[in-house]
């Protein structure tokens, strides 16, 4: 089971992206949880994640979130701005799975 946490400014813009990713996940038999939270809530949820994806609108928070993730062995990456803007759930889900494969998770 794989847990993908998306973090954005208020947790709202990524809600649609979560739905798109979940639709793609069903098609490939993905087992896990995909959810979104605001930046303020990220610290409360990071322990439950296998990977953290950061919305491009809060890219300035990436170093902080990477620090939280690295301390726990959780990869943290920014979502490709183009994929985010197009709400491309397929590409973002694949990006997550590729990172987790590379890291041996």
- Active-site residues, by number, are 8
Cβ-based neighbour number of residue 72 at 10 Å: 11
The CA dihedral of 24, 26, 29, 34, to the nearest 10 degrees, is 80
Residue 9 makes CB contacts below 8 A (sequence gap 6+) with 38, 39, 55, 57, 58
Say if strands 32-38 and 51-54 run parallel, antiparallel, or are unpaired: unpaired
């Amino acid at each position: 089971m794989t847990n993908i946490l998306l973090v954005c400014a208020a947790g709202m813009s990524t809600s649609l992206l979560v739905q798109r990713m979940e639709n793609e996940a069903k098609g490939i038999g993905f087992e896990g949880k995909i959810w979104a939270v605001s930046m303020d809530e990220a610290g409360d949820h990071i322990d439950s994640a296998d990977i953290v994806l950061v919305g491009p609108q809060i890219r300035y928070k990436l170093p902080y979130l990477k620090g939280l993730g690295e301390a726990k062995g959780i990869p943290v990456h920014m979502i490709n701005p183009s994929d985010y803007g197009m709400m491309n759930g397929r590409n973002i889900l694949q990006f997550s799975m590729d990172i987790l494969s590379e890291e041996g998770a």
